[in-house]
């Protein structure tokens, strides 16, 4: 397999000279690209596999050293050789800082160029052989043994055959990362068993191809939804590649992945600890969220909330649901759940739903019928992988419940107000008091008065006075009725009082009203 070289120089003549000299070597080398700027060179690197870069160190806009830093982020193990004149030798210090593989002075002699390329080709072949040895060493059996060793709480020193598989990894230091497919169970719940298997295999294949194409390290399948990556690339490069893995999976599939990563180690016990750290970091997904890289294995300590305080908050939450106060519902849910552990969350949900169901039963309501839950504890709650998912689900369902109760109360109140209005209409010609109507509908006068005014916008007594006046207008329009007859019919025993009341409301006596309307 030939070694691929990329040539970079802003001077076309120098670039062509370099291309011819490289191709004239007897080495197994292919010039896969030439570029007149660092930007164009980076584009080539994103599309092609490059082993060696020969680059002018002084270029406009993006210098050779700036380009090299970016190139190292794309391919950390790439070999970079700078070419410059004597006057640019001050750049040598920068070249050393970014671990350049060599430095050639213009005019470059063929002998110096070929010696440099020869040594780099030898180093690359050795690395390839080392990688092949590592790949062969980590057979399926060894991968399984490594997983078992990782899962031991207090591991014994690795067996000799296992140690031989780990040595190539640990030569330059290595770290473990654990990749978990997010929400796989509930996203596949509506698929047939066979379709779910196919989708899961596709996800595993996608992750494998991304890891292999990026030469990220050794991938070990720990389960159908969890994978371990063992990597000996520099730490910054590994973290960048893991971020890229997360992004590519999200762009290419319906699922996302969350990755926990441990610290770098150069000996067996340290690598085992790195795996444990990666596992601990991944477990923090519960609080920190998914579709992300998690390095900090320290899960925030749950707040110490006294039992009494929890009870008070639950009471306030239930009151907010009853009162249709969505802001308060959200506030109390956040207070209860934001920093709760998984065990605490499920206990809280059971406590809240049980209490809410009991409270609603006293109002002749059924929580599970209102929300159409098939059972008293929906299975979906146990499939969520983060506290944010559960909070979102609880918020949505409690908002829905609160609105259902509110709409139901409004309908009941509207029906009650309609019945009160019908009662008043049927008894307009009698004496009607709030106390009497409240007793008829089995409410206290104060509560019924409050409900009526809130819904109708007018105090009950004023409404009755208004309706009685309207009825008097109707009766006065009938010329066959005498005014004293109308007064008696409307419950007035004193004609003078009737006249005074009518004038107070209309500004005229009943007789003047008839005269005005020509009755």
Long-range contacts at 395-399 (CB < 8 A, ≥ 24 apart) = 395/329, 395/330, 395/333, 397/371, 398/317, 398/321, 398/329, 398/333, 399/326, 399/329
Q: Are 104 and 76 in contact (CB under 8 A)?
A: no
Nearest to 236 by CA among 168, 283, 175, 186: 175
**Alpha carbon 166 to chain centroid distance?**
36
Cα–Cα distance measured from residue 388 to residue 393, given in angstroms and rounded to the nearest whole number: 9
Q: Which residues on adjacent β-strands are paired with residue 488? A: none
Tokens 């019919």, residue located: 489
Structure tokens given for 207: 């992750």
Contact 381, 390 (CB under 8 A): yes
Q: What is the spatial distance between Cα 93 and Cα 105, in angstroms, rounded to a whole number?
A: 14
Pairing of β 102-105 and β 52-56:
unpaired
Q: Say how far apart CA 183 and CA 479 lie, in whole Å.
A: 81
Please give the chain's pLDDT, 519 residues, in tens.
Answer: 689 999 999 888 889 999 999 999 888 899 999 999 989 999 999 888 899 999 988 888 888 888 888 888 888 889 999 888 766 666 666 666 677 888 888 888 899 999 999 999 999 888 877 766 555 555 666 777 788 888 887 777 766 666 776 777 777 788 999 999 988 877 777 788 888 888 888 899 999 999 988 888 889 998 888 999 999 888 888 999 999 999 999 988 888 999 999 999 888 888 888 998 898 888 778 767 788 998 854 444 444 444 557 778 888 888 898 888 999 989 888 888 776 766 677 777 777 777 777 777 777 777 767 776 654 445 555 567 777 888 888 888 889 888 888 888 788 788 888 888 898 888 888 888 888 888 888 888 888 888 888 887 889 888 888 888 888 888 888 888 888 888 888 878 788 888 888 888 888 988 888 888 886
Sheet containing 3-8: give its strands across: 29-35, 3-8, 52-56, 79-84, 102-105
d(CA 377, CA 346): 10
User: Which pair of structure tokens corresponds to residue 436?
Assistant: 């009497």
Q: Are strands 218-221 and 226-231 parallel, antiparallel or unpaired?
A: antiparallel
Q: Which of 180, 260, 287 is nearest to 227 (CA)?
A: 180
What is the predicted pLDDT for the residue at 373?
A: 60
Distance CA 312, CA 26 (A): 82
Query: Tokens 């397999």 identify what position?
Result: 1
- 440: which residues sit within 8 A by CB, 6+ positions away? 423
pLDDT at 158: 67
Residues 6+ apart with CB under 8 A from 8: 15, 34, 35, 36, 37, 38, 41, 53, 54, 55, 56, 59, 64, 67
11, 59 Cβ separation under 8 angstroms: no
- Of 504, 506, 427, nearest to 464 by C-alpha is 427
Query: Can you give the pLDDT at residue 53?
Result: 94
Give the three-state DSSP class for 153.
Answer: coil
158-173: string of b/e by CB count within 10 Å (b at 16+)? beeebeebbebbbeeb
Q: How far apart are CA 165 and CA 227, in angstroms?
A: 18
């Amino acid at each position: 397999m030939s070694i691929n070289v990329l040539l970079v120089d802003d001077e076309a003549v120098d670039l062509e000279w370099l291309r011819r000299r490289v191709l004239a070597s007897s080495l197994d080398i292919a010039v896969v690209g030439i570029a007149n700027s660092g930007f164009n060179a980076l584009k080539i690197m994103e599309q092609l596999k490059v082993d060696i870069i020969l680059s002018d160190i002084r270029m406009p806009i993006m210098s050779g050293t700036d380009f090299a830093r970016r190139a190292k982020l794309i391919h950390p193990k790439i070999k970079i050789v700078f070419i410059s004149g004597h006057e640019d030798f001050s750049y040598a210090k920068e070249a050393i800082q970014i671990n350049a593989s060599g430095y050639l002075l213009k005019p470059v002699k063929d002998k110096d160029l070929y010696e440099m390329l020869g040594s780099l080709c030898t180093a690359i072949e050795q690395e390839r052989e080392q990688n092949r040895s590592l790949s062969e060493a980590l057979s399926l059996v060894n991968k399984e043994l490594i997983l078992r060793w990782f899962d031991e709480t207090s591991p014994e020193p690795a067996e000799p055959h296992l140690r031989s598989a780990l040595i190539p990894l640990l030569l330059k230091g290595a770290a473990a990362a654990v990749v978990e497919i997010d929400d796989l169970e509930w996203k596949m719940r509506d698929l047939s068993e066979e379709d779910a298997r196919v989708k899961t295999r596709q996800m595993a294949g996608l992750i494998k191809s991304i890891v292999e194409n990026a030469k990220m390290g050794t991938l070990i399948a720990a389960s159908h939804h969890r994978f371990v990556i063992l990597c000996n690339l520099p730490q910054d490069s590994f973290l960048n590649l893991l971020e890229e893995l997360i992004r590519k999976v999200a762009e290419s599939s319906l699922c996302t992945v969350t990755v926990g990563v441990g610290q770098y180690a150069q000996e067996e016990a340290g690598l085992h600890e790195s795996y444990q750290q990666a596992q601990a970091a991944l477990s923090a997904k519960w609080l920190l969220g998914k579709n992300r890289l998690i390095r900090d294995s320290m899960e925030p300590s749950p707040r110490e909330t006294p039992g009494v305080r929890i009870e008070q908050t639950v009471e306030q939450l239930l009151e907010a649901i009853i009162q249709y106060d969505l802001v308060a519902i959200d506030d109390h849910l956040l207070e209860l759940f934001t920093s709760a552990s998984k065990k605490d969350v499920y206990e809280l949900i059971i406590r809240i739903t049980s209490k809410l169901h009991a409270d609603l039963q006293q109002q002749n309501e059924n929580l599970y019928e209102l929300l159409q839950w098939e059972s008293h504890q929906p299975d979906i709650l146990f499939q969520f992988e983060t506290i944010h998912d559960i909070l979102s689900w609880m918020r949505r369902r409690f908002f829905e419940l609160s609105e259902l109760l509110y709409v139901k109360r409004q309908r009941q109140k509207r029906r009650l107000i309609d019945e009160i209005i019908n009662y008043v209409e049927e008894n307009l010609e009698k004496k009607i008091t709030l106390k009497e109507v409240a007793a008829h509908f089995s409410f206290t006068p104060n509560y019924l008065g409050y409900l009526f005014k809130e819904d109708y916008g007018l105090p009950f007594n004023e409404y009755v006075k208004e309706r009685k006046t309207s009825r008097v207008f109707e009766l006065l329009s009938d010329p066959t009725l005498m005014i004293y007859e109308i007064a008696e019919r409307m419950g007035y025993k004193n004609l003078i009082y009737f006249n005074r009341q009518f004038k107070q409301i209309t500004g005229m006596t009943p007789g003047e009203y008839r005269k005005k309307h020509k009755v």
